[in-house]
């Protein structure tokens, strides 16, 4: 991968980003030749806020607690260069079994079979660090041999020494997982921390 100029990455993300479609089942996944990066995490991790902050569009991605959005894979076409894919969140303790099974079928099919998928951003709440279901997702991606980038969210809420401790802990975690990239990206959709770093990373995937 060639190094990406931050200005080039900024320009890419300033271009049009349109919702192509929301798929409720694998048969609805679009035919596409664009490289894809998918975003996944526990519900409420800040995934829609992050996608909106990255693209500078407030209402583009909707929160996972939006009715009807919980079980959809949403495809966003960024400037016909890169497909950003919003995967449904996990960790709804109260969700009925049948819904959890449906989530598994939809997400696993996407992660295991999607040819265009280049990389997954696994979002981890920076305030708490990785939880058991985050580790389950990382193990699933290791087994599927899908490369993933760990992205800490809500880092505006993690202050002082805790900030670097959280990053270090997450680096140590990544080192134990074969498909995890070593570098950790710390972000905040609130104060835009890490947005440029994440854009540069994503633009590199879309190269
Ligand atoms: P999703 O369910 O993963 O899509 O999460 P949302 O983007 O809807 O965010 C869940 C909650 O976390 C909302 O109340 C957001 O306002 C809040 N949130 C999201 N990102 C940040 C952030 O960077 N910093 C802070 N402090 N709160 C955030």
Give the C-alpha distances (Å, rounded to integers) separating 59 from 17, 18, 19, 199: 12, 11, 11, 19
Could you tell me which of 136, 141, 129, 137 has the C-alpha nearest to residue 171? 129
What does the alpha-carbon distance between residue 114 and residue 110 come to, in Å, rounded to a whole number?
5
Give the C-alpha distances (Å, rounded to integers) separating 125 from 86, 98, 128, 194, 198: 17, 26, 6, 14, 16
Residue 146 has pLDDT above 80, yes or no: yes
Domains of the chain in start order, with CATH, are 6-205 (3.40.50.300)
Q: Find out whether the beta carbon of 206 lies less than 6 Å from any atom of ligand 1.
A: no
pLDDT in tens, 147-203: 999 999 999 999 999 999 999 999 999 999 999 999 999 999 999 999 999 999 999
Q: Which structure tokens are listed for 180?
A: 């995890």
pLDDT band at residue 68 using 50, 70 and 90 as cut-offs: low
Residue with tokens 């979002």: 123
Choose the residue to mutate in 22, 49, 87, 194 for probing ligand 1, maximizing ligand atoms within 8 Å of C-beta: 49
Q: Angle, to 10 degrees, between the axis of helix 132-144 and the axis of helix 97-113?
A: 40
Residue 33's pLDDT is 93
Q: What is the mean pLDDT of residues 79-95?
A: 90
CA 154–ligand 1 middle distance (angstroms): 7
Q: Find out whether the beta carbon of 17 lies less than 6 Å from any atom of ligand 1.
A: no
Choose the residue to mutate in 40, 44, 121 for probing ligand 1, maximizing ligand atoms within 8 Å of C-beta: 44
Q: Which structure tokens are listed for 188?
A: 């905040």
Report whether 171 contacts 136 (CB < 8 A): no
Q: Find out whether the beta carbon of 194 lies less than 6 Å from any atom of ligand 1.
A: no
- pTM, full prediction: 0.96
For the four alpha carbons of 138, 53, 157 and 43, in that order, the dihedral sign comes to: negative
């Amino acid at each position: 991968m060639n190094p990406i100029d931050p200005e080039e990455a900024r320009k890419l993300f300033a271009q049009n980003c349109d919702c192509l479609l929301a798929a409720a089942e694998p048969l609805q996944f679009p035919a596409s030749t664009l490289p894809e990066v998918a975003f996944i995490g526990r519900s409420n991790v800040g995934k829609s806020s992050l996608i909106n902050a990255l693209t500078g569009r407030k209402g583009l991605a909707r929160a996972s607690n939006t009715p009807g959005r919980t079980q959809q894979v949403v495809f966003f076409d960024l400037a016909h260069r890169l497909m950003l894919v919003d995967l449904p969140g996990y960790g709804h303790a109260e969700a009925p079994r049948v819904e959890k099974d449906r989530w598994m079928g939809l997400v696993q099919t996407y992660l295991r079979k999607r040819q265009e998928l280049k990389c997954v951003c696994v979002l981890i709440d920076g305030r708490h660090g990785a939880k058991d279901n985050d580790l389950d997702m990382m193990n699933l991606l290791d087994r599927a041999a899908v490369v993933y980038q760990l992205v800490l969210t809500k880092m505006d809420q993690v202050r002082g020494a805790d900030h670097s401790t959280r990053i270090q802990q997450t680096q140590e975690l990544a080192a134990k997982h074969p498909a995890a990239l070593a570098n950790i990206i710390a972000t905040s959709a609130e104060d835009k921390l890490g947005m440029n770093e994440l854009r540069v990373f994503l633009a590199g995937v879309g190269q």
